[in-house]
Every structure is written in structure tokens, then in C-alpha cells.
Amino acid sequence: MPDTTLAELAHEVRSKNAGPFWVTMELFLRDADGYRIAADESFLNERVVASLYRVDEETIQIFRIPSLNVVKISFPRPVSQGSLRDRDMHAGQHHVPLARMVIPPAVS
């Protein structure tokens, strides 16, 4: 049986700029069960996000919004928007590692 990913639990997983210095990613989960998995702090937490995106764990903000079945994650951009080393000016591809996270059987 193939592994289930966060993308499969969601209507949409997206990322975008939150100003020129921050990235925000949003998981819009299909239902309360998907939200329960994505919001589980033992599965998705600052340490995990820091590892995925190579950013300092202390700079990550995670917002869990159960009334909307949404998990929102924000952290400083590694380089400011539009700078010479910026490879994704709109932060439109940052969500991919998050979306591909496999749900471990213990969490589902």
C-alpha cells in the first residue's frame, strides 16, 4: 500500500510570501481527521519544519486553526525577496517538501 502524504489529506497546500522577509505555508485539510493528523505536534512541529527547510527552529511559527481545519507555518526567508540569491521570488514552490511529508502509521 502506498504511503499517504500531507498533500493527500489536504484540499490545498500552498506557500507564499508574507512580505519580503517571511514565507508562509498553509495546509487546508479536507476534514477534521486530516486536521488531527497535520496538527499533531508529535508529527509536525518546529523541529521537523527546521529540518525540512534548513532554518532555525526558534524562528518558526506554527498556527493551528481547528475551526477551519488549517495549519499555517511561517518562518523567515533564507534570502530576502528579489535579492540576487533569491531562486523563488514568490515563494510559490516552498510548500513541496511539506506536501510530500509521509504520514507515519502511528499518527494516522
Walk along the chain (108 residues) and give the pLDDT tens digit of each residue.
478 999 999 999 999 988 888 999 999 999 999 999 999 999 999 999 999 999 999 999 999 999 999 999 999 987 778 777 767 777 778 889 999 999 988 766
Residues 37, 103: Cα–Cα separation, whole Å: 8
HSE value, Cβ hemisphere, 13 Å, CA-based, for 22: 11
The pLDDT, as a whole number, for residue 31 is 96
Residue 54 burial (10 A CB sphere; 0-12, 13-18, 19+): exposed
C-alpha distances in angstroms, 105 versus 9, 43, 73? 14, 11, 23
Of how many residues is the chain composed? 108
Tell me which amino acid residue 75 is.
Answer: F
The pLDDT, as a whole number, for residue 108 is 63
The pLDDT, as a whole number, for residue 85 is 78
The pLDDT, as a whole number, for residue 1 is 47
